[in-house]
Structure formats: C-alpha cells, structure tokens
Amino acid sequence: MTSPARKRLSRAVVMTPVAVGATLALSGCGLLFPFPFVPAPEPEVPIEETVPAQQADGTEGLVSGDYRTGPIPASSPEFDESTLPAEPGDTATPTEQIEWEVLKSANQASLLYDPSSTAECTETQASVDETIDCTVTYQGLQIPYTVDVTGGSYIFSYEYRADSVPMVRDVVEDALRYWADAEAVRCDMDEAQLATPDIDSGVVCDAQTEYGVESYNVEVSAYGYVSFTMV
C-alpha cells in the first residue's frame, strides 16, 4: 500500500538512476600442433521481419523478434505536469477537488498522461470527518483510492492512498534504454498494467547491450520512479 498523500503535497519525485557498468573479461587460447586451420562455415541466421512500433514519445521504432528498438533517452523519463487538465478553481466542490488530485496521482505514477483517464469519488461536503472511496480509470485499468477527509466549516483537508499504481510498457522500456544504455529492449508485460509500488512488480525486462543480453526485474514507485535490478 502506498503511504498516504496529503492534499497538494504530492509531487513527482523522479530520481536519476545510476547506471551500473559491467566488466567483460575475455580470454583466448591456441593450438601448438601443426594442424591446418579450416574455418568453420558461417551459420545461416534467418532475417527477422521488422515492423514499426510506437514509442512513448510517439516516434516509431522497430520491432525485431520480441525486442523493440528506439533511441536512448538523454535522461530518465519524467512526468510532464503540463499535460494534466487544469486544476479546479475555488468554486469547485470538495468532491471535484479530490477527484482531480487522485487523477493527477495515478497519471503521475505512470509517468504518462492518459487523456481518457477519469476519476470518480463518493460525494462529500467535507464538513465532517469521514472516509470516502474513489476510483481512477487509467487506460482501462481501475485503481481504487481510499480518501480520509478532515472536515471543517471553511477549510478541509484530506489524505489519499492506493494499493496499486499503473505502469506503462512504453515508459518502462524507455527507462530501461536509459538505465542499460541500450536501444533494443523488451519487457514481459501488457501495454499497461497495475503493480504494487515499491516491491518487485514481477515484470522482467531484457536489454541488448554491448556486453550481451542483460535481464532486469522492475520496481515502480507511487511517485513516478522506475528502477531495475539485474537478474
């Protein structure tokens, strides 16, 4: 479960991961016998068909087998808050204010705004202390939120929490490109799925690096941070 977030205090925390370099040790051997050298025949490698694939930034990459290729980002993916709808004004009801905040929270956690995302909360006047339920729909996934409201006559506050956050394949793969310094990557996951924050998501990703294929376990946070642990 995510730690409770207070009204207007939730901010995307995008930490810059430190790339872990690998050292590859090579050794050679030779024969001291006067045998003639006969080179082995070149193996026949089938050419895999490549098709366009949309990346997180909207550009097209190439799919080769299960791998999807794209440019290595200059930095780890970050959430663009300017893509969010405008925050409700002073005339908005307490319910509308809370709905906007949890909508922002879910999109922020995914690092990619979904224009079709919605939020619905139990109606509240926020005049008394109470707990209400909200549901954010993100790319067809439903994310339940629990909101503790501290009511008041003129001012109210609230804390919200969720047990899961959305993770998006395009975003995770772009984060891996930056992390592993590799263009060709693949993640064994749906285009969008839910994950429990701050623990192993169960998703495994591979990257074709200069040292060979490297595999990683994926972990996401509630604040828009994707981390990888080499398997």
pLDDT of residue 161: 96
* Summary mean pLDDT of the chain: 80
Q: What is the DSSP letter of 2?
A: P
CB burial string 10-36: b at 16+ within 10 A, e below: bebebeeeeeeeeeeeeeeeeeeeeee
Q: What is the pLDDT of residues 199-218, one digit of tens each?
A: 999 999 999 999 999 999 99
List, for residues 130-177, the tens digit of each pLDDT value.
Answer: 999 999 999 999 999 999 999 999 999 999 999 999 999 999 999 999
**The pLDDT of residue 69 is above 80:** yes
Q: Under a CB-based contact definition with an 8 Å cutoff, are residues 194 and 166 in contact?
A: yes
CA distance 81 to 12: 9
Residue with tokens 């707990």: 131
Residue with tokens 């003639």: 36
CB 107 within 8 A of CB 79: yes
Give per-residue pLDDT as tens, 171-199.
999 999 999 999 999 999 999 999 999 99
β-partners of residue 68 are 63, 185
Nearest 5°: the CA angle 194, 2, 218 is 45
Domain boundaries along the sequence of the chain? 58-76+167-230, 81-164
Please give the structure tokens belonging to residue 121: 């909360």
State the pLDDT at residue 7.
Answer: 53
132 within 8 A of 124, measured Cβ to Cβ: yes
pLDDT number for residue 5: 61
